[in-house]
Homo-oligomer: A and B are copies of this chain.
Amino acid sequence: MRSLVTGGAGFLGSNLVDRLLQRGDDVIAYDNLSTGRRRFLELASASPRFALIEGDILDATTLAAAMSGVDTVFHFAANADVRHGTEHPRRDLDQNTIGTFTVLDAMRTAGVKRIIFASTGSVYGEATVVPTPEDAPFPVQTSLYAASKLAAEGLIAAYAEGFGIQGLVFRFVSILGERYSHGHVFDFYKSLRADPHALRVLGNGHQRKSYLYVQDCLDAIFVAADAMAPTKKFDVFNLGTDQSCEVNDSIGWMTGELGIRPALNYTGGERGWIGDNPLIYLDSQKIRGLGWTPRLSIRDGVVATLNYLIANPWLLEDRP
């Protein structure tokens, strides 16, 4: 099997690359290295079955050429900066929606027949059913990021129907673990590293979130991909744990692990930023029905992530 991973130099993408190589695939990481890092591909680069192609997903020509002979595209490239959508209204549209269109159309041109897509639990907006199942009531979008991912899901489903491309979509909670380089554990640790005595917290700290450990996430993707019947056009799975936590819990686990007791300065309000969902808590019965179960609790995931960051200070330093 030959797999191409867009965003293959990113947090999730590079972990996927390693796992695909372990499974015996030939693997191409396709990444523009805008947020991805070559250092995440050091392990992969030792394999003769691996290649990195530096390219942008909006570059249809390079993309289609990279897809020659590919069986499955794992489309993981995205603008993942959920918080700052309103400062750059077009970025999510370009990177996530038009980017996904370009990937799909390159697949059509190159004859690639399967796409596995990293979507987000935030497509449920302010869910009226919690834990939220895949067939929750038709949602109202609350962020440009989620709207762009929903649009990408719709394009994948339409390509599946119209062009015989098999589409498999995963709606994630936030993912934690090795190579995590973006998000609250990163931000909090970076802040605490600079000043262990005080921590600024967006919102009131009671925002509930659900997290999943990266290897558990990848396990689930392989379970669903391997179980999908070749005749099935499209499917979608939530990926999350059966737990949720408050931002405050996460801070407690981190400061406990670090052995510090900073003053917590809350900015106030129920939301961290405009479009922040107070709770993303997904029903994962569908993927569990295939035999998958996560190995790490949210707490274990937070602590593993923190310890990875402690061991890899370059990650906190190399970009401002």
A residues in contact (CB < 8 Å) with B: 85-86, 89-90, 93, 97-98, 101, 104-105, 108, 124-125, 128, 134-144, 146-148, 150-151, 153-155, 157-159, 161-163, 234, 236, 274-275
A-B contact pairs, 11 of them (CB 8 A): A85-B158, A93-B155, A124-B138, A136-B137, A137-B138, A138-B139, A144-B155, A146-B154, A150-B150, A151-B151, A162-B274
Q: Within the complex, what minimum Cβ distance (angstroms) separates A274 from chain B?
A: 5
Q: Within the complex, what minimum Cβ distance (angstroms) separates A96 from chain B?
A: 10
Number of copies of this chain that the complex holds: 2
Please determine whether B101 and A93 come into contact, CB atoms closer than 8 angstroms: yes
CB closest residue in chain B, given A171: B138
Please determine whether B138 and A157 come into contact, CB atoms closer than 8 angstroms: no
Picked from B97, B135, B153, B159, the residue with its CB within 8 Å of the CB of A137 is B135
Given known contacts A85-B162, A147-B157, A158-B275, what 20 new A-B pairs fall within 8 Å (CB)?
A85-B158, A89-B101, A93-B98, A98-B98, A134-B138, A136-B138, A137-B137, A137-B138, A141-B161, A142-B158, A143-B158, A143-B162, A144-B155, A144-B158, A144-B159, A146-B154, A146-B158, A151-B155, A162-B274, A162-B275
Q: Within the complex, what minimum Cβ distance (angstroms) separates A202 from chain B?
A: 16
Find chain B residues with CB under 8 A from A141 CB.
153-155, 157-158, 161
Q: Within the complex, what minimum Cβ distance (angstroms) separates A2 from chain B?
A: 24
With A147-B157, A151-B147, A151-B150 already in contact, the answer to whether A138 and B135 are too (CB < 8 A) is yes
* Secondary structure dominating the interface of A: helix
Please determine whether A142 and B161 come into contact, CB atoms closer than 8 angstroms: yes
Please determine whether A86 and B163 come into contact, CB atoms closer than 8 angstroms: yes
What separation, in Å, do the CA atoms of A157 and B141 have in the docked complex?
Answer: 5
What separation, in Å, do the CA atoms of A143 and B162 have in the docked complex?
Answer: 7
CB closest residue in chain B, given A85: B162
Closest 4 CB pairs of A and B: A151-B151, A147-B154, A135-B137, A141-B157
Please determine whether A142 and B157 come into contact, CB atoms closer than 8 angstroms: yes
Find chain B residues with CB under 8 A from A86 CB.
162-163
Please determine whether B161 and A143 come into contact, CB atoms closer than 8 angstroms: yes
Q: Within the complex, what minimum Cβ distance (angstroms) separates A240 from chain B?
A: 16
CB closest residue in chain B, given A169: B140
Picked from B140, B161, B234, the residue with its CB within 8 Å of the CB of A157 is B140
Find chain B residues with CB under 8 A from A101 CB.
89-90, 93
What separation, in Å, do the CA atoms of A134 and B134 have in the docked complex?
Answer: 17
What separation, in Å, do the CA atoms of A125 and B104 have in the docked complex?
Answer: 20
Please determine whether B147 and A158 come into contact, CB atoms closer than 8 angstroms: yes
Q: Within the complex, what minimum Cβ distance (angstroms) separates A309 from chain B?
A: 30
What separation, in Å, do the CA atoms of A89 and B128 have in the docked complex?
Answer: 34
Find chain B residues with CB under 8 A from A159 CB.
89, 144
Find chain B residues with CB under 8 A from A274 CB.
161-162
CB closest residue in chain B, given A153: B141
Find chain B residues with CB under 8 A from A124 CB.
138
Picked from B97, B137, B140, the residue with its CB within 8 Å of the CB of A151 is B97
Q: Within the complex, what minimum Cβ distance (angstroms) separates A298 from chain B?
A: 25
Please determine whether A157 and B108 come into contact, CB atoms closer than 8 angstroms: no
